[in-house]
Amino acid sequence: MALISMTGFARTQGSFGDYDWAYEVKSVNGKGLDVRSRLPYGLDSLELELRKLAANYFRRGNLQLNLQLNREQGATVLAVNEQALEAVLKIAEPLRQRLGSPPINVESLLALRGVLETTEPQEGEVALIARREALLEGAKMVFSELSDMRMQEGARIEKVISDQVSKIEELTIAARDCPGRQPQALKARFVEQIEKLLEANDALDPDRLHAEAVIISTRADVQEELDRLFAHVEAARELIASDEAVGRKLDFLAQEFNREANTLCSKASCKELSHIGLEMKTTIDQLREQVQNIE
Protein backbone atom coordinates (compact mmCIF):
# COMPACT_ATOMS: atom_id res chain seq x y z
CA MET A 1 0.00 0.00 0.00
CA ALA A 2 1.39 3.40 -0.99
CA LEU A 3 1.68 6.30 1.41
CA ILE A 4 -1.35 8.60 1.42
CA SER A 5 -1.09 12.38 1.34
CA MET A 6 -3.31 14.62 3.45
CA THR A 7 -3.54 17.33 0.80
CA GLY A 8 -5.92 17.35 -2.15
CA PHE A 9 -9.00 18.84 -3.80
CA ALA A 10 -12.06 17.34 -5.46
CA ARG A 11 -15.31 18.52 -7.02
CA THR A 12 -18.38 16.55 -8.13
CA GLN A 13 -21.81 17.58 -9.30
CA GLY A 14 -25.11 15.99 -10.19
CA SER A 15 -28.87 16.36 -10.07
CA PHE A 16 -31.86 14.82 -8.36
CA GLY A 17 -35.42 15.65 -9.34
CA ASP A 18 -35.74 19.43 -9.56
CA TYR A 19 -32.37 20.00 -7.85
CA ASP A 20 -28.82 20.46 -9.08
CA TRP A 21 -26.05 19.94 -6.53
CA ALA A 22 -22.28 20.45 -6.47
CA TYR A 23 -19.76 19.42 -3.81
CA GLU A 24 -16.26 20.84 -3.36
CA VAL A 25 -13.84 19.53 -0.76
CA LYS A 26 -10.33 20.68 0.11
CA SER A 27 -7.97 18.73 2.36
CA VAL A 28 -4.85 19.98 4.15
CA ASN A 29 -2.56 18.64 6.87
CA GLY A 30 -3.99 17.98 10.33
CA LYS A 31 -3.12 16.11 13.52
CA GLY A 32 -6.40 14.21 13.34
CA LEU A 33 -9.50 14.15 11.13
CA ASP A 34 -11.46 17.40 11.23
CA VAL A 35 -14.36 17.91 8.80
CA ARG A 36 -16.01 21.32 8.50
CA SER A 37 -19.03 21.72 6.26
CA ARG A 38 -20.67 24.73 4.64
CA LEU A 39 -24.22 23.67 3.82
CA PRO A 40 -27.30 25.44 2.39
CA TYR A 41 -29.99 26.69 4.73
CA GLY A 42 -32.10 23.87 6.12
CA LEU A 43 -29.52 21.13 5.62
CA ASP A 44 -27.48 21.58 8.81
CA SER A 45 -28.65 18.17 10.00
CA LEU A 46 -26.47 16.59 7.29
CA GLU A 47 -23.26 17.74 8.95
CA LEU A 48 -22.98 14.89 11.47
CA GLU A 49 -23.63 12.26 8.79
CA LEU A 50 -21.04 13.85 6.51
CA ARG A 51 -18.44 13.65 9.27
CA LYS A 52 -19.18 9.98 9.84
CA LEU A 53 -19.02 9.38 6.11
CA ALA A 54 -15.63 11.10 5.80
CA ALA A 55 -14.24 8.83 8.53
CA ASN A 56 -14.83 5.87 6.19
CA TYR A 57 -12.39 7.37 3.68
CA PHE A 58 -9.81 9.29 5.72
CA ARG A 59 -7.88 8.97 8.97
CA ARG A 60 -6.18 12.35 9.20
CA GLY A 61 -6.47 15.79 7.61
CA ASN A 62 -8.47 19.01 7.87
CA LEU A 63 -11.32 18.91 5.35
CA GLN A 64 -13.45 21.86 4.20
CA LEU A 65 -16.61 20.62 2.45
CA ASN A 66 -18.91 22.98 0.56
CA LEU A 67 -22.31 22.05 -0.88
CA GLN A 68 -24.26 24.15 -3.39
CA LEU A 69 -27.90 23.20 -3.99
CA ASN A 70 -30.09 24.89 -6.58
CA ARG A 71 -33.66 24.21 -7.61
CA GLU A 72 -34.70 24.50 -11.24
CA GLN A 73 -36.53 27.73 -11.97
CA GLY A 74 -39.42 25.86 -13.56
CA ALA A 75 -40.09 24.13 -10.28
CA THR A 76 -41.34 27.32 -8.64
CA VAL A 77 -45.04 28.28 -8.68
CA LEU A 78 -46.83 31.62 -8.59
CA ALA A 79 -49.22 32.41 -5.76
CA VAL A 80 -51.26 35.44 -4.71
CA ASN A 81 -50.41 36.96 -1.38
CA GLU A 82 -53.96 37.26 -0.05
CA GLN A 83 -53.07 39.64 2.75
CA ALA A 84 -51.28 42.02 0.39
CA LEU A 85 -54.16 41.85 -2.10
CA GLU A 86 -56.79 42.63 0.57
CA ALA A 87 -54.73 45.57 1.80
CA VAL A 88 -54.50 46.99 -1.74
CA LEU A 89 -58.23 46.55 -2.41
CA LYS A 90 -59.12 48.13 0.93
CA ILE A 91 -57.37 51.29 -0.21
CA ALA A 92 -57.99 51.17 -3.95
CA GLU A 93 -61.75 50.44 -4.08
CA PRO A 94 -62.94 53.44 -1.98
CA LEU A 95 -60.54 55.66 -3.89
CA ARG A 96 -61.90 54.40 -7.25
CA GLN A 97 -65.48 55.08 -6.18
CA ARG A 98 -64.54 58.50 -4.93
CA LEU A 99 -62.85 59.46 -8.21
CA GLY A 100 -65.36 57.67 -10.42
CA SER A 101 -62.65 55.65 -12.06
CA PRO A 102 -63.30 52.47 -14.10
CA PRO A 103 -63.04 49.10 -12.33
CA ILE A 104 -59.55 48.02 -11.34
CA ASN A 105 -58.16 45.44 -13.80
CA VAL A 106 -56.51 42.27 -12.64
CA GLU A 107 -53.25 42.92 -14.53
CA SER A 108 -52.69 46.17 -12.61
CA LEU A 109 -53.29 44.44 -9.29
CA LEU A 110 -50.92 41.58 -10.05
CA ALA A 111 -48.24 44.02 -11.17
CA LEU A 112 -48.15 45.61 -7.74
CA ARG A 113 -45.18 44.61 -5.68
CA GLY A 114 -45.91 41.92 -3.11
CA VAL A 115 -49.27 40.83 -4.52
CA LEU A 116 -47.86 38.04 -6.69
CA GLU A 117 -45.16 35.83 -5.20
CA THR A 118 -43.05 32.92 -6.38
CA THR A 119 -42.95 29.95 -4.02
CA GLU A 120 -41.48 26.51 -4.07
CA PRO A 121 -43.87 23.60 -3.85
CA GLN A 122 -43.88 21.84 -0.50
CA GLU A 123 -42.09 18.50 -0.45
CA GLY A 124 -43.48 15.49 1.32
CA GLU A 125 -41.55 13.35 3.79
CA VAL A 126 -40.73 10.72 1.17
CA ALA A 127 -39.32 13.34 -1.21
CA LEU A 128 -37.20 14.92 1.55
CA ILE A 129 -35.71 11.55 2.50
CA ALA A 130 -34.96 10.73 -1.13
CA ARG A 131 -33.23 14.09 -1.63
CA ARG A 132 -31.19 13.57 1.52
CA GLU A 133 -30.04 10.15 0.33
CA ALA A 134 -29.09 11.58 -3.05
CA LEU A 135 -26.97 14.26 -1.37
CA LEU A 136 -25.22 11.65 0.79
CA GLU A 137 -24.45 9.61 -2.32
CA GLY A 138 -22.99 12.76 -3.84
CA ALA A 139 -20.80 13.18 -0.75
CA LYS A 140 -19.52 9.62 -1.20
CA MET A 141 -18.57 10.51 -4.77
CA VAL A 142 -16.58 13.60 -3.79
CA PHE A 143 -14.88 11.82 -0.87
CA SER A 144 -13.94 8.94 -3.16
CA GLU A 145 -12.47 11.34 -5.71
CA LEU A 146 -10.53 13.16 -2.99
CA SER A 147 -9.26 9.83 -1.67
CA ASP A 148 -7.97 8.91 -5.13
CA MET A 149 -6.21 12.26 -5.45
CA ARG A 150 -4.61 11.91 -2.00
CA MET A 151 -3.37 8.45 -2.94
CA GLN A 152 -1.85 9.76 -6.18
CA GLU A 153 -0.11 12.57 -4.31
CA GLY A 154 0.98 10.07 -1.64
CA ALA A 155 2.62 7.87 -4.28
CA ARG A 156 4.63 10.87 -5.49
CA ILE A 157 5.68 11.76 -1.94
CA GLU A 158 6.58 8.13 -1.24
CA LYS A 159 9.19 8.19 -3.99
CA VAL A 160 10.65 11.42 -2.61
CA ILE A 161 10.78 10.03 0.93
CA SER A 162 12.30 6.72 -0.24
CA ASP A 163 15.01 8.63 -2.08
CA GLN A 164 15.71 10.72 1.01
CA VAL A 165 15.97 7.63 3.24
CA SER A 166 18.39 6.10 0.71
CA LYS A 167 20.44 9.31 0.78
CA ILE A 168 20.61 9.12 4.59
CA GLU A 169 21.77 5.51 4.31
CA GLU A 170 24.47 6.50 1.79
CA LEU A 171 25.69 9.26 4.09
CA THR A 172 25.71 6.88 7.05
CA ILE A 173 27.86 4.44 5.05
CA ALA A 174 30.15 7.32 4.08
CA ALA A 175 30.46 8.29 7.76
CA ARG A 176 31.23 4.67 8.70
CA ASP A 177 33.95 4.46 6.05
CA CYS A 178 35.30 7.94 6.62
CA PRO A 179 39.14 7.87 6.60
CA GLY A 180 39.14 10.06 9.69
CA ARG A 181 37.58 7.18 11.66
CA GLN A 182 40.30 4.69 10.77
CA PRO A 183 42.46 3.51 13.69
CA GLN A 184 45.63 5.09 12.32
CA ALA A 185 43.98 8.50 11.98
CA LEU A 186 42.36 8.26 15.43
CA LYS A 187 45.68 7.23 16.97
CA ALA A 188 47.46 10.18 15.38
CA ARG A 189 44.89 12.62 16.76
CA PHE A 190 45.03 11.00 20.22
CA VAL A 191 48.81 11.34 20.27
CA GLU A 192 48.58 14.97 19.15
CA GLN A 193 46.01 15.85 21.82
CA ILE A 194 47.88 14.02 24.57
CA GLU A 195 51.08 15.82 23.60
CA LYS A 196 49.24 19.12 23.95
CA LEU A 197 48.09 18.07 27.40
CA LEU A 198 51.65 17.24 28.38
CA GLU A 199 52.92 20.54 27.04
CA ALA A 200 50.33 22.36 29.12
CA ASN A 201 51.11 20.35 32.25
CA ASP A 202 54.08 18.00 32.28
CA ALA A 203 53.22 16.92 35.82
CA LEU A 204 50.17 14.90 34.78
CA ASP A 205 50.13 11.58 36.60
CA PRO A 206 49.52 8.35 34.62
CA ASP A 207 45.98 7.92 35.97
CA ARG A 208 45.00 11.42 34.88
CA LEU A 209 46.60 10.84 31.50
CA HIS A 210 44.70 7.57 31.08
CA ALA A 211 41.41 9.27 32.01
CA GLU A 212 41.99 12.03 29.46
CA ALA A 213 42.75 9.45 26.78
CA VAL A 214 39.51 7.61 27.56
CA ILE A 215 37.53 10.86 27.31
CA ILE A 216 39.11 11.74 23.96
CA SER A 217 38.45 8.23 22.65
CA THR A 218 34.81 8.29 23.80
CA ARG A 219 34.15 11.66 22.22
CA ALA A 220 35.52 10.48 18.89
CA ASP A 221 33.55 7.20 18.86
CA VAL A 222 30.36 7.54 16.73
CA GLN A 223 29.73 3.84 16.20
CA GLU A 224 26.58 3.85 18.36
CA GLU A 225 25.15 6.75 16.39
CA LEU A 226 25.91 4.97 13.11
CA ASP A 227 24.29 1.76 14.34
CA ARG A 228 21.15 3.65 15.31
CA LEU A 229 21.07 5.48 11.97
CA PHE A 230 21.20 2.16 10.11
CA ALA A 231 18.41 0.84 12.34
CA HIS A 232 16.29 3.94 11.66
CA VAL A 233 16.76 3.50 7.92
CA GLU A 234 15.45 -0.04 8.16
CA ALA A 235 12.52 1.08 10.33
CA ALA A 236 11.65 3.85 7.85
CA ARG A 237 11.50 1.40 4.97
CA GLU A 238 9.27 -0.93 6.97
CA LEU A 239 6.88 1.96 7.68
CA ILE A 240 6.80 3.01 4.03
CA ALA A 241 5.80 -0.56 3.08
CA SER A 242 3.17 -0.75 5.83
CA ASP A 243 -0.59 -0.87 5.20
CA GLU A 244 -1.27 1.46 8.12
CA ALA A 245 -1.42 5.23 8.44
CA VAL A 246 2.23 5.89 9.32
CA GLY A 247 2.53 9.67 9.09
CA ARG A 248 2.97 10.21 12.83
CA LYS A 249 5.43 7.33 13.16
CA LEU A 250 7.51 8.66 10.27
CA ASP A 251 7.48 12.10 11.86
CA PHE A 252 8.80 10.64 15.14
CA LEU A 253 11.42 8.66 13.23
CA ALA A 254 12.56 11.82 11.44
CA GLN A 255 13.14 13.40 14.85
CA GLU A 256 15.25 10.41 15.86
CA PHE A 257 17.24 10.71 12.65
CA ASN A 258 17.90 14.34 13.49
CA ARG A 259 18.99 13.51 17.03
CA GLU A 260 21.64 11.08 15.80
CA ALA A 261 22.82 13.47 13.08
CA ASN A 262 23.27 16.23 15.67
CA THR A 263 25.37 13.92 17.84
CA LEU A 264 27.39 12.84 14.82
CA CYS A 265 28.22 16.47 14.05
CA SER A 266 29.14 17.27 17.64
CA LYS A 267 31.46 14.22 17.83
CA ALA A 268 32.99 14.68 14.37
CA SER A 269 36.76 14.41 14.72
CA CYS A 270 37.57 15.55 11.19
CA LYS A 271 36.24 17.97 8.59
CA GLU A 272 35.07 15.20 6.27
CA LEU A 273 32.89 13.60 8.95
CA SER A 274 31.55 17.03 9.91
CA HIS A 275 30.56 17.74 6.29
CA ILE A 276 28.81 14.35 6.09
CA GLY A 277 26.87 15.15 9.26
CA LEU A 278 25.78 18.55 7.97
CA GLU A 279 24.63 17.10 4.65
CA MET A 280 22.73 14.44 6.55
CA LYS A 281 20.96 17.10 8.65
CA THR A 282 19.90 18.92 5.47
CA THR A 283 18.46 15.70 4.02
CA ILE A 284 16.66 14.93 7.28
CA ASP A 285 15.09 18.41 7.32
CA GLN A 286 13.79 17.79 3.80
CA LEU A 287 12.47 14.41 4.94
CA ARG A 288 10.59 15.99 7.85
CA GLU A 289 8.93 18.49 5.49
CA GLN A 290 7.61 15.68 3.30
CA VAL A 291 6.52 13.53 6.23
CA GLN A 292 4.24 16.34 7.46
CA ASN A 293 2.02 15.67 4.42
CA ILE A 294 1.53 11.95 5.10
CA GLU A 295 -1.69 10.59 6.59
The amino acid that residue 188 corresponds to is A
Residue 138 and residue 100 share a domain: no
The 10s digit of each residue's pLDDT in 72-126 is 755 556 667 778 778 777 777 787 777 777 777 777 766 777 766 666 656 668 8
Which CATH number is 193's domain given? 1.20.140
Residue 68 and residue 81 share a domain: no
Q: Is residue 1 part of a domain?
A: no
Q: How far is CA 65 from CA 13, 91, 258, in A?
A: 13, 51, 37
As a whole number of angstroms, the distance between CA 89 and CA 94 comes to 8
Q: What is the largest CA-CA distance in the chain?
A: 134
67 vs 117: which has the higher pLDDT: 67
Residue 151 has pLDDT above 90, yes or no: yes
Q: pTM above the 0.85 mark?
A: no
Report the domain count for the chain: 3
Residue 259 and residue 171 share a domain: yes
47, HSE (Cβ side, Cα atoms, 13 Å)? 15
Residue 185 and residue 106 share a domain: no
Mean predicted confidence (pLDDT) in 219-238: 90
pLDDT category, 187, cuts 50, 70, 90? low
Mean predicted confidence (pLDDT) in 256-265: 94
Residue 173 has pLDDT above 90, yes or no: yes
Domain range holding 111?
77-119
Q: Is residue 225 part of a domain?
A: yes
Q: What is the CA radius of gyration of the chain?
A: 37
The amino acid that residue 253 corresponds to is L
Residue 103 and residue 198 share a domain: no
Which of 133, 151, 169 is where one domain is finished?
151
Select from 48, 65, 70 the least CA-distant residue to 143.
65
pLDDT score recorded for residue 238: 95
- Angle of helix 125-176 relative to helix 247-267, nearest 10 degrees, comes to 20
The 10s digit of each residue's pLDDT in 17-64 is 888 999 999 999 999 999 999 999 889 999 999 999 999 999 999 999
Residue 16 and residue 146 share a domain: yes
Q: Is residue 139 part of a domain?
A: yes
Residue 205 and residue 131 share a domain: no
pLDDT score recorded for residue 90: 79
Q: Is residue 3 part of a domain?
A: no
Q: Is residue 247 part of a domain?
A: yes
